[in-house]
A and B are shown apart, each in its own frame.
Chain A
Amino acid sequence: MRMKGNGSMSPVPLLEIRNLHVRLEDEPSVEILKGIDLKIMPGEVHSIMGPNGSGKSTLAQVLAGKEDYEIVEGQILFKGQDLSDLGPDERANSGIFLAFQYPVEIPGVSAMQFLKAAVNAKRAFEGQGELDAGALLRHFRAKALQINVPFEMLKRNVNEGFSGGEKKRFEIFQMAVLDSVLGILDESDSGLDIDALRIVSEGVNSMRDGTRSFLLITHYQRLLNYIVPDRVHVLIGGRIVKSGGKDLALELEEHGYAPFGVNESAVASA
C-alpha cells in the first residue's frame, strides 16, 4: 500500500531486493548472485552496470521469473509483495516488463495477434473483460506514435526478420502497450547504432512519468547519455560493489572495471 504524502510513513519501494542469492538449477554448486540489495522507488531510474559474467542478465531473468534459477536466500518484493510464488505471466500482469537482450523470433504469430493476447491476458488478470478490436487498434496506434514505431510492424510476425534496432524498439513498444510500471531493460543498447539507440531511449523517456520505474542493465555508459539514471550500481562477481549517482557511470566509462579488480579480457562471457 503506497501512502504518498503521509509524513509519518515512507512510501513503499516499487521494487525491493533483499540479500538475494541465486544459483542455476542445473548447476547448484555455482552461485551467480551472492547477496544483492536494491531499492527502486516509484519514478526512479536505476542502472546496473557490470562486466560480462557479473550476473547482470541473471538478475534480469530472475526478476522476470525465469524457471532455470533457484533463489537460495533472500527476497524480491514488488509493490511490497513477495514475488517468489508468482510465475513470469503473473509478474508481467502485475506490471513487471523485461525487455529481452535477444528478443525471440516467432514465425507464424503476428505481432498484432501476440499483443492482443497479451493485453487481454492482463485485463483478465485484473478482472476486466476483453477489449474489442476497435479499442485495441486505437490503443496500439496511440502507443506506436508515442514510441515511434511504424504501425506496419504489427502486421509482421513477432520479431521475425526484424533488425536489431527494430527488435529493441518493439520491446519498448510492448512495454508501452502493456502499460507496465517497472521496465527492466536487459542490454537494450547492445548492437544498436546511434540512431536506433536514440529512438529506443526516447521511447523510454516518453514513459517516465514520476511513477513508472526502470532498471537499465548495461555494460556501457553510452545508453545513460540518453536515459539519465537516478542511481548507478556496479555489479561484479554477483555482488553490488559500489552505488552512486549518474556520475558513477562516467567514472566507469573513463576507467573501466579495472579499479574493481576486473580484467575484462579474462572474464568469460555471461
Chain B
Amino acid sequence: MTSVMDQPVGILTHEPAPAPAWVQAFRTRARDGLSGLPTVRDEAWRFTNIAPLVGTNFVTESASQRQVTPGDVAELRVPELDAAVLVFVDGQYNPGLSDTRNLGAGVVCTTMEAAFERHAQLVQAHLGAASAEHDDPFTRLNDAMLSAGVFLYVPDGVATARPIEILSIATRTAEPVAAHPRNLIVVGKGAGATVLEHYVALDHGVVYLNNAVTELIAGDGSRVEHYLLERESEQAFNISTLAIRQGAEAVVHSHTVLLGGAIVRNNVVPVLAGERGHCLINGLYVGHGDQHLDNAMRVRHAAAQCESRQYYKGIMNDRSRGVFTGRIIVDKGAQKTDAIQTNRNMLLSDEARVNARPQLEIFADDVRCTHGATTGRVDDEAVFYFMSRGLSEPVARAMLVYAFAAEGFDRMELVPVRRLLAQEMIDKLPMARGLSIEV
C-alpha cells in the first residue's frame, strides 16, 4: 500500500490560470489545508484504493489529437433533449460548441472565469458555502485548482426555460489530463432549474482524471433537479462531488448514473438547512470488467421537519466492485426528521463484489430514520417464468436486470435521459446484445 498523505501531490504542482486576488486567496487557503490524497487507511476511502490515479503523471493541458466538431457534440449529448449546452473539451471551455441562449429573464449562465470578473459579488457570496461541508482531499484539491467550470444563477421566482447540460468531453491527448471542473449553481427563492453534468469520452481507452465539484445552493421554496451522467472512458478516473445546501421547503432531486470509468467516486453531500425541505438522492451504478464504482452519501439534516430519500442500486458484473456508504446525520435541533435510505445490489458474476455500509448519527430524539441494504442475484424462478413464455435466457436475464433498475430510471423527470441511460445500461450487459428496451 502506497501512502501519499506524506508526499506532495503531483497534480498540485500545476499552477491554475491567473485570477482575481480573492480567487487566488480561496485557492491558497485550500492548498494550505491539503496534505495529500487519501489512502485506504482513511475510513472514508477504506474500500477505494486510488494508487493507479496517484501513479499517473497528469498534466492540466495537453494537445488533443483531434478537433471536436458540432457533429461530435450532437452525437455525445443527450439525444432529443432541448437543453442549453456548455461544452468542455479536456477540461477547457469551448464557446463555439456551446449554446446558452434562451434560459429566462435574468438567468446567468456562463463560465466560472467569466463570472470571477462579471459576477464577482454573487460568486463570492456563495463559493464554498456548500462544499466546505465536504471534508475531503479531492474537494480541497478542486478548491485549490479553481478555474474552469460553469456559473449558473437563477433569480428569485424564475424557472430556467430549458435544462442546462454541462458536457465534458475527453479526447485522446498526448499526455493524461487532469481537470478540476467547478460548477456553482445558485437558485433563488421559489426558482427552478434542471442541470445535467454529463461526462463522456470521444475516444475509448484514454486515461484522464475529472475531479469535479458542483455546489448547488437551492433557495427557499426552490425546485432543482440535478443529473450526473457518468459515461467516461473505462480507463479514466472520475471523482464527482455534488455539495448541496438547500433552504426551507426547497425540493432537490439528485440523480446519478455511473456507467463508465476505471475508478469512480461519487459523493453526494446535501445539507437540509431550512425546515420542510425535501431531498431525493437517486442513483444507479453499473459495473463490468474491473470497474470500481464508489458512492459516498452524506446527508445532513440541519433543520426540522425535512425529508431525505436515498435510493441507490448497483448492478455488478465480471470482477467489478461497488461501494455504497450512506451516512445520515441528524443535528440536535432537527426534530421530525424523516430519512430513508436503501441500497440494493444485483451481482451478475461470482467475482463481482459490493460493500454497503449505512452510518447513522442521530442527535435529535423525535426522528424517523430507516436504512436497508441487500445484495442478490437474478431470480432463477423469474428467469424460468420468462423463458416459459418463449424468451431466450439472455433476453430473460437482461429484462430482469432492467426491471431491477427500472424504478431508478422512473424517478427521473427527463425521459430522454432515462432512454439514453437505460439503453446504455442494457448495452453493457453481455447477454443483451441487440436488445432494445422501451422506457
Q: Which residue numbers of A lie inside 8 Å of B, CB to CB?
A: 64-67, 87-89, 91-93, 97-98, 100, 103-104, 106-109, 113-115, 117-118, 121-122, 125, 174, 178
Contact = CB atoms under 8 A, between A and B. Distances in A.
A121 B407 contact: no
B390 A107 contact: no
Interface string B105-148: 00000000000000000000000000000000000000000000
A107 B391 contact: no
Chain B at the A interface: SS class:
helix
B406 interface: yes
B406 A118 contact: no
A70 to B, nearest CB: 16
Contacts of B26: none
B66 interface: no
B389 A174 contact: yes
Contact residue range for chain B? 20 to 34
Contact of B387 (A88, A115, A174, A178): A88
Nearest to A93: B390
B389 A118 contact: yes
Contacts, number: 72
Contacts of B392: 89, 121
B403 interface: yes
A67 B393 CA distance: 12
Q: Mostly helix, strand, loop or mixed at chain A's interface?
A: helix
B390 A109 contact: no
B209 interface: no
A107 B407 contact: yes
Interface string B389-403: 111110110011011
Contact of B405 (A64, A98, A108, A122): A108
Contact of A117 (B381, B391, B393): B391
Interface in B241-300: none
B399 A117 contact: yes
Given A106-B400, A108-B407, A109-B399, A66 B384 contact: yes
Contacts of B389: 92, 114-115, 118, 121, 174, 178
Interface of B: 379, 381-382, 384-393, 395-396, 399-400, 402-407, 438
Select the residue from B388, B396, B438 with max chain A CB neighbours within 10 A: B388
10 contacts: A65-B387, A89-B391, A89-B393, A91-B388, A92-B388, A106-B400, A113-B438, A114-B389, A117-B399, A125-B390
B387 A87 contact: yes
A108 B379 contact: no
A221 B382 CA distance: 30
Nearest to A118: B389
A76 to B, nearest CB: 15
Given A87-B387, A122-B390, 4 more contacts: A89-B392, A104-B385, A109-B402, A178-B389
B406 A107 contact: yes
B399 A89 contact: no
Given A87-B393, A89-B393, A113-B438, A108 B388 contact: no
A205 B395 CA distance: 32
B374 to A, nearest CB: 14
B390 A118 contact: yes
Contacts of B438: 113
A104 B407 contact: no
Contacts of A89: 387-388, 390-393, 396
B388 A121 contact: no
B407 A88 contact: no
B135 to A, nearest CB: 37
A178 B400 CA distance: 20
B314 to A, nearest CB: 15
A98 B399 contact: no
A64 B393 CA distance: 14
B403 A121 contact: no
B382 A104 contact: yes
